[in-house]
Structure 1
Amino acid sequence: MNNVNVQAEIAHKDLMQLKQQFENPDATYRPQPFWFLNHELTKPELESQIQSMYEAGVGGVVLHARHGMQTSYLSPAFMEALEFCTLECKKRNMVVWLYDEDNWPSGTLGGKLTRQHPEYRMRYLRVEEQRYMHDAQQQGLKLDFARYDHNELIAILAYRAAMQDGEWLLCDEPEDLTHVWGREWTPTTEDPYIVLACWSCEIAEGITFANGYYLDTLNPEAVQAFIRMSYDPFQSLQEHFGTTIQGVFTDEPGLMIHDGFFGVEAIRTAVHDVGATLPGMVFAWTEGMAERYQQENGYDLIPRLGALLYNMADGSRSTKQQYYDTITRWYVEGYHLAIRSWCERHGLLYIGHTLEEPVWGQARSQGNQTRVLQQFHYAGVDYLTPGIGTKENPHRIVSVKTAASVAQLNSKERVICESFGASGHGYSMRERRLDANFMAFLGVNLFIPHAFYYSFAGYRKTDFPPTEFKHAPHWPHYRAFADYLGRLSLLGASGKRTPEVLLLSPIHTVYENMFVSGQSNKHPASDALFSLLSDRMLRRSIDYDYVDESQLREASLMDGEGVRFYGDGNIYSVMIMPEIEVMSRDIAAQLVSYVKQGGTLIAVGAIPRHSECLHHDPELAKHMHALFGSTPQHNELRSIGKGYTLFYSLENLPLVDPIDSLCERVSGLLRKSPVLRWKLTEGQHEDLISLERVFGDRVYVWLMNWSENPVSMKLGAIEAKYRIEEWAWKAEKYAS
């Protein structure tokens, strides 16, 4: 038999196996929910519930200690229950995931760790401000910053300030006024001054459950204590590691916990006022940070803390960018890499999710989300509350696409999603299916429903419902939904996406613009455009991935084609920069090579001007001039070497939706044509979105109606040689 026939036979066998799996997906593709162990755990009830899940098509469970559990977390009785559940799942070929926390977020054992070890409590930097304007009315400034419990004064710094183009800029080398605290201070010059009081603060009690303090995830010693107390006890189950027990789930850790993700104020928990805050704005911090930072970066951070809130008059940008790079590195290596390494030593997978959307929130709580997700064996995401967003507010896409893009560019097999939680008791199966379709379309191929409640008694009903389990009216019909999720996951995990477009993450631009003139900006233009572009490209059925600068550094340029990230991975011929203002010098040089060797680079709304080091960096300007020339013209394709550049302005365009017009332009620059074309006979063009996946020599086209309107179409193949086959999701049928 010649090689061509051998390959054809292998492809045919693979297809037949896929069809068999499609009819009845394996457990690994089926939903594997959070199972809330939230009452007294008895073996008959545990066995009964596992059997019910098995009969309903559930493929596995995440054993999640939750509110209401009567057994102490990690006690002998609790570990006995985990082993019993594991053995019962093994009998049924179901998958088990361990969960590393008592409730959530991961890191404190329900507050036990940080009560026993107060030195491991999370800290944050709180910066409050006073201003001095030299005039007849203000002769001096009273430095009457109030003291609060568990707040340690780091320094009081007086910066000479200058107004330029409507923005306050700080001059370097502030005057240290710490010794003048509580007294009046009068400057020796007539300049305006901005005075910043910087405090190292312990996070408030009650920021986690059981009146706990959250963990200092920037402190590797604190994380090692968490591993010893939470992970090491799991070793009693070691005989099941790598077989029935697949791995460990970590849930919503952060370098700043939830208050830092949602806002900039320091939360002060108080019975009489649970929303009370302290003055000023907060940033990630850790015990001994100043000394550790200076040792690694070669300069004293304290006199430069003003650069986190203001831009500097001398144009320096290094402090702000280095601060975020440093805290990201400490957090990624200290928490995620440490736990991943423990899991790998014990033959387990490290999975979970963090806090994800928008990019502003990623920067606040994770530093750099891409670098965090790279540590997970399966990239993970959270999809709570119902709905898929809207054209005007496409808030759902960035979080899932970030995880899916890390999986694609870093060759990870699965994208997990904690799904359906916090959607309320009235959440319908129709809504679930729409949300599941959208998650799968964006790249999710392992659903972890939130949640299956062991008990629904009393206050447990309010624990971020709905229940997916036997307490729900839809439970008798759950098997059909579990089959449906299994098929979505199967094809998502088996097929390979082949997008041509990369969307460059604006994370460094967001770092730069999230605080200006001492005020927070929660909606930087680049962040908003990133989200809008993500939505509009979906509406144009243009598949894409996000890319971070750190990933580009590891990529290979393919002469005449584009860029590739691993081995036989996908090649990307088009890269889009959404209002990117800040770019590292080495990445700018790499993009010049990318274009000259055949790639197409599109700058939308702005061309990078600032480097990671310097405002209006001349070295960066040299690279941008090589790419876009001295006077870029809107929508003009510029030939450079084997590739092209294009600048797309967003100013003064006579268009209803300039982003949609941009996507039409991008579509015309793609090298591959869609395998299928169709003509709508009912509905609007953007109601229907499509995605191609490759399996062997076959192309699977996913079509999704994400509108509320009916859509009808007439399909046709580009070439007669293609045989069109329809696979129905809700039944084991095929149509040609």
Structure 2
Amino acid sequence: MKDVGMPVAAGLLEQFKQPSTAYRSLPFWSWNDRMSADEIKAQIQEMSKQGMGGFFMHSREGLETEYMGEEWMACIQAAVAEAKAAGMKAWLYDEDRFPSGGAGGSVPRLGGDAYRSKALTMEVTAGHKQEVTSGIIAIFAASVEGDVLHHCRQVEQTDPDLLLDGEVWLVLRREISGPCEWFNDESPVDNLNPDAVAAFIEGTHEPYKAVIGDEFGKTVPGIFTDEPSIADFHSVYTRPWLPWTDEFASYFQERRGYELEPLLPYLFFHGEHSAKTRHDYWRTITDRFCAAYSQQLGQWCEDNEIAYTGHYLIEHNLGIGTRVSGAIMPHYRYQQVPGIDLLGEQADEYITVKQCTSVANQYRRPVVLSEMYGCCGWDFTFEGQKWVGDWQFALGVNVRCQHLSLYSLKGCRKRDFPPVFNYNTSWWKYNHVTEDYFARISAVMTEGIAVRDVLVIHPSSTLWTMIGCDPYVYKGWEDPNLLRANRYEEGFDKLIRTMLGFHYDFDFGDETIIEEKGHVTDGSFFVNYAGYRVVVLPRLHTLLGSTMKLLLAFMDAGGTVISVGQGITRIDGELSDEVYTLYSHEGMRIVGNEAELCSMLESVLPRQVSIRRRTSGEAPEFLYYLKEMPDCYALFVVNNDRNAGQEVEIALARVGRLEQWDLLTGETKEMGAEIRKDGMSFIANFGPAGSRLYVIHKDSQPKAALSTFSYAQTHELRLCDAMLGPVSTFSRTMPNALLLDTCSYRLEEDDWSETMFVWEAQKHVRDLLGMRQVHYNGLPQRYKWIDEPHPANETRIALRYSFEVQAVPERDVFLVLEQAEQ
């Protein structure tokens, strides 16, 4: 707290009761129509009224105002001015839709092929002489069997006389991606090229600075980057491919100390050198992507006193995440506000959240943003918001970015991954309830330091050894290498779920970050600012040499390392006998499975928090998040089971006066606890998807209470009984509505068509008139073509809607139309 001399807990309580803008949600406000300054101001006022803290000004499908044009910039200025007047925050978004880097296609056009996405492609050909084409990097004569490479030798040309019996040509090229509608008919951008990223900054960030730079760090806290990658699956190539950029070969040699070119076939085929070559290739891709993109953007933001935030493509999948980013976690080093994208009504992507919140903890980044709720549908409920949000907040997220808050619902815009968090939803007037709820969690759990004393080494380097590309056919997400990685991920995911359910909270340790920021101090294994007492190796195949040295130093200092299995056979991707030194150290503990891992953790490290059932051990459906502040602890506990409540015993390895802080009302009450030799415990009853926030004050003792279960039968709470009772009255808050979503049509005086969905009628009509389609998302942005004249403009169309009613209403009936003024 900023107030000099104010106890942290006292200041914390003030923020809890009335959370400030800093702790409130920041929805993706989708600018998806022809923008109006007056409408922008009106919608900001609605967001403020309903408890939101700000918004991201997000170019989205359907935009009819030219992106980054004069009118666009005027709207940005209007939004910033209105946000300032309302005490809200106006966050920028750095792209025309997503993924970030191309500035709506202007960057690739600006730099030509130098700035367009590139690939290393593979062609396997028969023995006849091939015409030499441009872009060839290397040619090999090789003996292959399926996707196995027995041997290869580099040659200058595809001369049949050079081939031995059974050999084929392997031709590797540098290719430029073809254009794609999604990128406004341009190629994806080359985010491995630092000059292309510099052009992106010059064309996006600098113009924003020119018009609203006075509010940087004030009303405009930061800018969001969305799903940047180095291998976008919108890319267009004719052969199997992997990410590439100009000068990558020399960059590789500089970083790794040897030439990559003679080993290129091993990126596609499996063979003697595949694991090492792939490991070093993806390690170098990671270094290059981080330096060219994230570090450059993060530094610009730091220099201009705003926060770099956003998320990276496919964080949730180890295999595809490697394919599109090299590794995800190293990028978070450069974000002042690390962020993730976790869509859908689910609580399954533990890896996604933990990767981000771990780096945030290690770099002491207090705010972690999550883009959440997209794809949950129009019928998404408040309970769904709470369940999804509680789970993420228990893992370390503390600010919601709701996906989406649509400026307009016209046409196919309403199908843009709902739900919608804006005035145009039926429940909008109650939105402030969830805003206050989550703001209260954030106000408390943003403060202090996370209490986590276990480090799990992230398997990114193991994934590097596994990921290649099928040498014959590009299969995208179905590539056998990625499917193999998915199977590995299943085991890794099971391990981390088991640890969290057994209530040993942890951080991931990324080896790239460990190499840069790892050290052993006072018997603890540190990653930057965060220290750990136990390190877990989760069925890894390889380690960086720098990681192994630190692990040995940690064990020499008395630290404990627990290895699940003895699968590590490589150092820096290469087979090595050095691993025996690791496994034979007296500080090493080797276990065979998740159950043995949990037992071993119990034997070497007391729990910080235990959440036990009445009848059997730890309750795995419960999660917790523990933060320490100078004069108190904050404990957030979540029952992740949506269907059943449960009475549990919560035990802490610390003692203090115990309070429960009500997240819905802002009220507080003191609770009793039983003091034990290793801390204190108390009983709590949670409903389905229930959550509780506790504050433990260090300066005094808890009041006495017996820590015993009630032994009363636990009943499942039924919402209808709890809130309405068996008999209730009701009144409508708005008129009944009948959706008219089918029609027949005719053009001019033609015959009527058959009955079909409205969107199908629109598709047919535009086909008949030779117009660009608009019935789905994914086309070039509308501002690129919407104002161009068309020969069939002004064609008259009639629509006929048919429906049945059993009782004709006695009162007035109203027709609600989109764009009724037309």
TM-score, shorter chain, exceeding 0.5? yes
Q: 1:470 and 2:423 equivalent?
A: yes
Larger-Rg structure? 2
- Aligned residue type for 1:648: V
Q: 1:548 and 2:542 equivalent?
A: no
- 3-state secondary structure, aligned to 2:182: coil
- 3-state secondary structure, aligned to 1:468: coil
Partner of 2:635: 701
Partner of 1:99: 93
**Whole-angstrom CA distance in 1 between matches of 2:148 and 2:600:** 39
Partner of 1:377: 336
Superposition TM-score, scaled by structure 1 size: 0.83
**Whole-angstrom CA distance in 2 between matches of 1:170 and 1:591:** 36
Report if aligned partners of 2:504, 2:607 keep a CA contact under 8 Å in 1: no
Report if aligned partners of 1:290, 1:300 keep a CA contact under 8 Å in 2: yes
- 3-state secondary structure, aligned to 1:523: helix
Report if aligned partners of 1:605, 1:648 keep a CA contact under 8 Å in 2: yes
Deviations 1:366-418 (A, max 9, x none): 112121111111111101122112xxxxxx11111100001011221211111
Written as runs of structure 1 = structure 2, the 5 A alignment for 1:600-679 is 600-612=560-572, 614-615=574-575, 617-618=576-577, 620-627=578-585, 640=586, 644-649=587-592, 658-674=593-609, 678-679=612-613
**Whole-angstrom CA distance in 2 between matches of 1:38 and 1:345:** 31
Shift of 1:521: 4.0
Report if aligned partners of 2:28, 2:57 keep a CA contact under 8 Å in 1: yes
Q: In the superposition, relative to structure 1, how do residues 522 and 230 fare at CA in structure 2: closer, same or farther (>3 Å)?
A: same
Report if aligned partners of 2:107, 2:196 keep a CA contact under 8 Å in 1: no
Partner of 1:247: 222
Partner of 2:501: 539
Shift of 1:585: 2.4
Report if aligned partners of 2:27, 2:402 keep a CA contact under 8 Å in 1: yes
**Whole-angstrom CA distance in 2 between matches of 1:614 and 1:243:** 50
- Which one of the candidate residues 106, 119, 124 is aligned to 1:129? 124
Q: In the superposition, relative to structure 1, how do residues 299 and 175 fare at CA in structure 2: closer, same or farther (>3 Å)?
A: same
- Aligned residue type for 1:668: S
Partner of 1:412: 365
Q: Which runs of 5+ in 2 are unaligned?
A: 472-479, 671-822
Q: In the superposition, relative to structure 1, how do residues 90 and 407 fare at CA in structure 2: closer, same or farther (>3 Å)?
A: same
Partner of 1:343: 301
- Aligned residue type for 2:566: A
- 3-state secondary structure, aligned to 2:285: helix
- Aligned residue type for 2:291: E
Partner of 2:791: none
- Aligned residue type for 1:383: L
Shift of 1:504: 0.4
Q: In the superposition, relative to structure 1, how do residues 529 and 681 fare at CA in structure 2: closer, same or farther (>3 Å)?
A: closer
Q: 1:175 and 2:134 equivalent?
A: no
Shift of 1:287: 2.8
Partner of 2:58: 64
Deviations 1:72-96 (A, max 9, x none): 1111211111111111111121111
Report if aligned partners of 1:595, 1:601 keep a CA contact under 8 Å in 2: yes
Q: Would you say how many aligned residue pairs link Structure 1 and Structure 2?
A: 656
- 3-state secondary structure, aligned to 1:64: strand
Partner of 1:582: 542
Partner of 1:237: 212
Q: In the superposition, relative to structure 1, how do residues 329 and 533 fare at CA in structure 2: closer, same or farther (>3 Å)?
A: same
- Aligned residue type for 1:733: E
Shift of 1:332: 1.1
Partner of 2:414: 461
**Whole-angstrom CA distance in 1 between matches of 2:469 and 2:600:** 34
Partner of 2:797: none
**Whole-angstrom CA distance in 1 between matches of 2:250 and 2:13:** 60
Deviations 1:135-178 (A, max 9, x none): xxxxx84577999xxx8443331234699xxx945446x13264
Shift of 1:16: 1.7
Partner of 2:531: 571
Q: In the superposition, relative to structure 1, how do residues 671 and 508 fare at CA in structure 2: closer, same or farther (>3 Å)?
A: same
- Aligned residue type for 1:228: E
**Whole-angstrom CA distance in 1 between matches of 2:653 and 2:462:** 44
Report if aligned partners of 1:423, 1:464 keep a CA contact under 8 Å in 2: yes
Identify which range, 238-247 or 296-305, moves more after superposition.
296-305
Partner of 1:520: 481
- Aligned residue type for 1:34: F
Report if aligned partners of 2:332, 2:338 keep a CA contact under 8 Å in 1: yes
Deviations 1:592-639 (A, max 9, x none): 111121211111133421121522x13x23423532xxxxxxxxxxxx
Report if aligned partners of 1:444, 1:492 keep a CA contact under 8 Å in 2: no
Q: In the superposition, relative to structure 1, how do residues 60 and 720 fare at CA in structure 2: closer, same or farther (>3 Å)?
A: closer
- Aligned residue type for 1:341: Q
- Aligned residue type for 1:158: A
Q: 1:326 and 2:284 equivalent?
A: yes
Shift of 1:248: 1.2
Deviations 1:250-280 (A, max 9, x none): 1111111245xxxxxx756xxxxxxxxx443
Superposition TM-score, scaled by structure 2 size: 0.75
Partner of 1:733: 667
Q: Which runs of 5+ in 1 are unaligned?
A: 1-6, 131-139, 260-265, 269-277, 390-395, 628-639, 650-657
Q: In the superposition, relative to structure 1, how do residues 548 and 681 fare at CA in structure 2: closer, same or farther (>3 Å)?
A: same
Q: In the superposition, relative to structure 1, how do residues 532 and 44 fare at CA in structure 2: closer, same or farther (>3 Å)?
A: same
Deviations 1:406-451 (A, max 9, x none): 1011221211111111222222222121111111111111211111
Q: In the superposition, relative to structure 1, how do residues 556 and 293 fare at CA in structure 2: closer, same or farther (>3 Å)?
A: closer
Report if aligned partners of 2:582, 2:588 keep a CA contact under 8 Å in 1: no
- Aligned residue type for 1:520: N
Q: 1:596 and 2:556 equivalent?
A: yes
**Whole-angstrom CA distance in 1 between matches of 2:631 and 2:524:** 23
Q: In the superposition, relative to structure 1, how do residues 732 and 427 fare at CA in structure 2: closer, same or farther (>3 Å)?
A: same
